[in-house]
Amino acid sequence: MSFSHIGDTSNCIFGYFPVLQYFDISNTNARETSKDIFQYAPNLVHLVAHGNYFGLVKNGLEFLSSAPNLLELDISYNRLISPSLIYIESLQHLQKLLISGNSITSLDNLSISNLPNLTLLDLQSNKITSLSDKVITEWELVSRRQNLSIDLSDNPFVCDCSTLETIEWIHSTHVQLLNRKKYHCSYRNKKVLIGSTIRHLSDQCGIMNMHTFDITNKNVLIVTIPAVSVTFVCCFVLVYFCRWKLRWKLYKLKKAVHSNNMGLYPGRLIEIDNAYMYDAYVASDDEDIQWVTNHLIPKVEKEWHLLLLVKLRDFLAGGSNADNIIEGIDRSEKTLLILTNAFLRSKWGDFEVQMAVTKDYNTIIPCVMEDLNPSFMSNVMKRLLKSNSCVEWTDDDDGQALFWHKLRHLLFNED
């Protein structure tokens, strides 16, 4: 039917074609098709429908639900927009998906996690300017599970501070990106190769952030510094040397208010359907295993009778490190992040953070072990430290007591 003019097939349902495997309706000006059009073609596996107008009609791709066994789907050049992509998720046997030449700006509606057999995702020549954290994280996960190739060439990517994370990911990811030499972006009103802008863009964004901070705070600093400098220094010294005692007292006061008429450590609520094998997964750098062995394990396992999953102790030899991490986090109720600068610099540390965030922000307990260098932190880590309750380790006895008290509070889900 290629190059025929069929236009509106909204009331059309094909007769019984049990042997039909390949169907081509490309360049037929089709725009509205019955959602049940292929219900009597159960063996249809190849559908070519490029060069039509399905994107001009609301629910224009709804007909795909009548062809659940498709292996290859070509819906390029159909004027599709982002919301239309939700209908593709039902095609769980799909291996090749061609959606180039459309008007797609966002990929948040296309969850390829539901397409376990997908090997090719062709997104050439759309209107994608950046990728969300959700999409990047999902693609990284899926590419570790299956042999996936993605083509993002000839999209109008933008190279500025708001898209820096996308640009850095395209440049450095191990996900197989086809035609990577054709990945350009708009930088200072010029179309340039993405790889050529990374260093300049990173430097520029760092300078702009510092400049914005200076302008915003300049007048305030000029007015206030002369008047409060001496007082500030005195207060800072006092607070610094008493900081752990102050935090301990404040935390005890807050705990006392919330514990009203409860014991200090009420019993944990255990759900019958709880499938977790471990109480917490310990995400740490190998350099920090001594602290985990000498401090964390004795306190949490021997005193509190909880079960930790520790990589160097509990991972089975010979298994994939990435698979072990994903399974370990999935089978643990909480995730303890042992945050040191060595951990922040580690690629496996970053992977553990990404996996824990993907599972559930609210089950993460960041344990800050030392002063962290902001330049080592990813954007995800910065957001995590802002949104989650942290516990901080110190050499001070009161500080350590506060650390253990807060950690137990978070592990036992005490309000």
Go through the domains of the chain in sequence order and give each one's CATH number.
22-201 (3.80.10.10), 227-258 (no CATH), 278-411 (3.40.50.10140)
What percent of the chain has pLDDT above 90?
43
Distance CA 307, CA 155 (A): 49
Residues contacting 49, CB < 8 A, separation 6+: 24, 25, 26, 30, 73, 74, 75, 78
How many helices (H) and strands (E) the chain has is answered by: 11, 15
> Band of the pLDDT at 224, cuts 50, 70, 90?
low
Q: Are strands 120-122 and 157-158 parallel, antiparallel or unpaired?
A: unpaired
Is the pLDDT confidence value at 269 over 60? no
Higher-confidence residue: 195 or 138? 138
Tell me the mean pLDDT in the region 298-303.
93
DSSP state of 297: H
Distance CA 301, CA 305 (A): 5
Q: Per DSSP, which regions of 222-301 are E strands?
A: 278-283
pLDDT for the residue 360: 84
C-beta separation of 38 from 64 below 8 A: no
pLDDT for the residue 260: 47
pLDDT for the residue 415: 59
Residue range 337-347, pLDDT digits in tens: 999 999 999 99
At 70, give phi and psi (nearest 5°).
-60, 140
> Band of the pLDDT at 3, cuts 50, 70, 90?
very low
pLDDT for the residue 405: 92
Q: Which of 126-140, 181-195, 208-222 has the lowest mean pLDDT?
A: 208-222
Residue range 123-182, pLDDT digits in tens: 999 999 999 999 999 999 999 999 999 999 999 999 988 898 999 999 889 999 999 888
For residue 299, count CB atoms less than 10 angstroms from its CB and return exposed for 0-12, middle for 13-18, buried for 19 or more.
Answer: middle
C-beta separation of 402 from 247 below 8 A: yes
For residue 50, count CB atoms less than 10 angstroms from its CB and return exposed for 0-12, middle for 13-18, buried for 19 or more.
Answer: buried
Distance CA 302, CA 304 (A): 6
C-beta separation of 26 from 74 below 8 A: yes
**What is the overall mean pLDDT for the chain?**
82
Is the pLDDT confidence value at 396 over 60? yes
What percent of the chain has pLDDT above 70?
80
Is the pLDDT confidence value at 297 over 70? yes
Residue range 91-129, pLDDT digits in tens: 999 999 999 999 999 998 888 988 999 999 999 999 999
Rg for the chain, CA atoms, rounded: 27
DSSP state of 294: I
Residue with tokens 């705070």, as numbered in its chain: 217
Quote the tokens at residue 275. 């499938």
Is the pLDDT confidence value at 321 over 70? yes
